[in-house]
Structure 1
Amino acid sequence: MNSAGHGDAPAHMGLDLMPFRGLRYDPARVGSLAAVTSPPYDVVVRPDGLLHLESADPHNIVRLILPQAGTPSARNERAAQTLDRWITEGVLARDPEPALYVYEQRDATGLVQRGLIGALRLSEPSDGVVLPHEDVMPHIVADRADLMRATRANLEPLLLTYRGDGRTTGAHAVVKRATGRAPLLSTTTEDGFGHRLWAVTDPADIAEAQRDLAGHQALIADGHHRWATYLRLRAEQPSPGPWDFGLVLLVDTARHPLRVRAIHRLLPGLPPAAALSALTGLFRVRHLRTPLTEALHALAEAAGTGNAFLLAGDGAYHLVDRPSPDLLARTIPTDRPEPWRTLDATVLHATLLKHVWRIPEDSPEQVAYIHDTASTVEKAERDGGTAVLLHPVQEDIVRTLAQQGITMPRKSTSFGPKPASGLVLRRL
């Protein structure tokens, strides 16, 4: 059996998850494992969250996934130098033999999520093995590709989901056996989540998990830009080779259903008064004098009957719903299926951003994507911009569209819990 990095042609068209020698922090060389972890790069709320993580420990993974310097090339060079230095100093050490890694997340509410981390053979969307469900932004893919070229490493795993068949054998059995042993690491991060990691090195266990996964396809739950980056770099590099694979976490959502949250928009250059004025006669607007939690309940109720958004930034909340049918007919592309045309994210991008507010969605200066609801509102109020809060899409709609080869507007969903960055890396 080959470890990832040897690109023999796959014997099937299902998921092909390979073991690899994980690169992990030496607990003796850092303050604590929790202090060197980070949320995924695109969830870090900058600049406050970035500064907080950098100060948590001088070896925090954020110094690799979001390096800071005056120019993009200098940032990537700094990340590569930092990674090399940490390996030389023994802060990061490669495990002695290839493994699949069982990863568990657990919170105080009783949620338990378990999955397998490995190096997944890359496939094109047309193969139907890994299904993207969102469009990507080219400048982010280019940024991630430059970083990955410089470091020659997969610094954080993508989150992929598949639907197991409920059997007690296969990948489930491998995961269960592993969690009966002492873990490689155990830590609790400041968000209250406990994290544990086990290495599966027995060839029989690895083969059992691989046979099971070979019969499944996966949905990209988090990491579309990194997946697109994997594909771009594979096309650039010699094959067979390590670039034929990418670091992923595979979770069976039949056993561990993920939470689905919305990703909100911050429009820093659009004052709330101007945003609301432009909606006159096009949407119904109701002004709410309620706390955020109650306003979100009102959004959920409105979203149950049609497109709805919650605008904020002026100290109040404004529920926007019931778009004009004529407006939708004029602005929503008709070459997509009905489930896509009626998505809130579709209406937001095609109708509100493009036609009503005339804001280019490709401009990072004019549209920011933020996962945390309260942070989106706070930034809008502080900067004088408009926060657009969305209600999450159901996973079955996401999966159905993906299986039809239809991608949703970029940053439409946030699946979680997301894997912590910094627990295991893959050096190419």
Structure 2
Amino acid sequence: MRGHGVDVVPFRGVRVGAGGVLAFDEGPALYGYEWGGGRRGIIGAVRLTGAVVPHEDVAAEAVEERVAFLRAGRAQLEPVLLGYRGGDGRAAGVLDRTAREEPALLDAWDPDGVRHRLWAITGRAGQRAVRADLGVRQALIADGHHRWATYRELREVDAAAGEFGLALLVDTGRHPFAMGPIHRVLPGLPLRDALAAVAGLFRVRRLPGGCAEALEALDGRAAGPEVEGNAFVVTDGRAFHLLDAPVAELTWHTVRHDRPARWRDLDATLLRDTLLGNLWKMPAHYARQVGHARDAEEAVRRAGGGTAVLMRPVGEDVVRELAQAGVALPWKSTSFEPKPLRGLVFRML
């Protein structure tokens, strides 16, 4: 199956056992996992040279830090979240049958009221069926680009780390993810300076109300101003301004032209290359301090006298189209929800 699709293999997992002590499972297993209202996937060790497609850039510094962490800890603690489509149903059948017939290794509720269940898939026939189904599929990285890049980089500098990375595979045809935005936090950029830099280059309108009303206006749900072209909300928590309709000359001179139109039209592209990199004059050493938040209210709170930039989500079809064309989105462009719980199963290197 190598080279044709996703090669997922069983591994001997490490989990919390009796008395809260970490312990190895008895033998190699794939793991069925359910969370977030019945969404299910399979946890396994995925070959790093298989058909796994990233869709976002990564920061080299973050990868280097994670490589050092893995070399010291010798364990993969959190799976990369992968989404695939078009399975023939064998993997899903094994997963459903295991959930129906086998006792759960874990059945718990997290503090947010989300139920999490975990099963071991230990039968060889079931494991073979899962591998055969996924072995001709392509998987998209939904969450964990830095983890995947770290696995691949670690393989280059530490041969003992092996050829596999811990991953959770979800059939998004059966269990689609919700696509959420990732907002930006710029604590060192006063709102007045952010607005002054875009004057005459974007249409700028003050919005009534607070964060909820601003998000409704941004994604077109409000009965207020219509949104045209690239759009953002900038705020210091007190005043909310809608930026949209950038002048064509601005994007022509600040966004690279060797990428598809879909990529050039992304809000995240304009934010990185035009706003952060050009109009707001953020040097490289400051750009590393840009914060990210999936919750808009959190982004506004963290701005702390600076500026929060509220974003719109990117559609999954756009993500897949660009990924299959080999084009990476800017870092932190997408958020696939809901996220799995961390730390359920570890994989030792």
Shorter-chain TM-score tier? over 0.9
Alignment-derived partner of residue 15 in structure 1? 6
Q: Is the Cα–Cα contact under 8 Å of residues 99 and 199 in structure 1 kept in the other structure?
A: yes
Deviation at 1:148?
0.7
Deviation at 1:367?
1.1
Deviation at 1:143?
1.0
User: Deviation string for 1:250-308 (max 9, x for gaps)?
Assistant: 00000000011111111111011110111110101111121321210100017964210
* Mapped pair 1:135 → 2:57: yes
Instruction: Find the residue that maps to 1:384 and give its secondary structure.
Output: coil
Query: d(CA) in 1 for partners of 2:80 and 2:163?
Result: 15
* Mapped pair 1:367 → 2:286: no
Distance 1:99 1:373, change over 3 A: same
Query: d(CA) in 2 for partners of 1:282 and 1:366?
Result: 25
Which residue, 137, 140, 144 being the options, matches 1:219?
A: 140
Deviation at 1:98?
0.6
Query: d(CA) in 2 for partners of 1:27 and 1:299?
Result: 50
Instruction: Find the residue that maps to 2:15 and give its secondary structure.
Output: strand
Query: d(CA) in 1 for partners of 2:142 and 2:69?
Result: 22
Query: d(CA) in 1 for partners of 2:226 and 2:82?
Result: 27
Instruction: Find the residue that maps to 1:424 and give its secondary structure.
Output: coil
Alignment-derived partner of residue 26 in structure 2? 96
User: Deviation string for 1:111-136 (max 9, x for gaps)?
Assistant: 3210000000002xxx7x11110000
Which residue, 207, 213, 224 being the options, matches 1:288?
A: 207
Query: d(CA) in 1 for partners of 2:158 and 2:249?
Result: 49
* Mapped pair 1:246 → 2:168: no
One-letter code of the match for 2:189? Answer: L
Alignment-derived partner of residue 321 in structure 2? 400
Distance 1:407 1:11, change over 3 A: closer
Instruction: From the two aligned structures, give the one with the greater strand fraction.
Output: 2
One-letter code of the match for 2:154? Answer: L
Distance 1:396 1:304, change over 3 A: farther
Alignment-derived partner of residue 229 in structure 1? 150
Query: d(CA) in 1 for partners of 2:235 and 2:241?
Result: 6
One-letter code of the match for 1:119? Answer: A
Which residue, 7, 17, 36 being the options, matches 1:26?
A: 17
Q: Is the Cα–Cα contact under 8 Å of residues 161 and 252 in structure 1 kept in the other structure?
A: yes
Deviation at 1:373?
1.4
User: Deviation string for 1:142-191 (max 9, x for gaps)?
Assistant: 111111111001010010000034x4x41011111111032110111112
Instruction: Find the residue that maps to 2:185 and give its secondary structure.
Output: strand
Alignment-derived partner of residue 45 in structure 2? 119
311-320 or 295-304, which deviates more: 295-304
Which residue, 154, 158, 161 being the options, matches 2:76?
A: 154
Alignment-derived partner of residue 264 in structure 1? 183
Runs of 5+ unmatched residues, structure 2: none
Alignment-derived partner of residue 50 in structure 1? none
RMSD: 1.6
Query: d(CA) in 1 for partners of 2:285 and 2:17?
Result: 40
TM (norm. structure 2) is 0.95
Query: d(CA) in 1 for partners of 2:308 and 2:2?
Result: 49
338-347 or 305-314, which deviates more: 305-314
Deviation at 1:351?
0.6
Distance 1:304 1:101, change over 3 A: farther
Runs of 5+ unmatched residues, structure 1: 1-9, 30-90
Instruction: Find the residue that maps to 1:278 and give its secondary structure.
Output: helix
One-letter code of the match for 1:101? Answer: Y
Q: Is the Cα–Cα contact under 8 Å of residues 270 and 385 in structure 1 kept in the other structure?
A: yes
Query: d(CA) in 2 for partners of 1:264 and 1:172?
Result: 34
Query: d(CA) in 2 for partners of 1:303 and 1:233?
Result: 48
User: Deviation string for 1:70-107 (max 9, x for gaps)?
Assistant: xxxxxxxxxxxxxxxxxxxxx1111111100000003x
Instruction: Find the residue that maps to 1:104 and give its secondary structure.
Output: strand
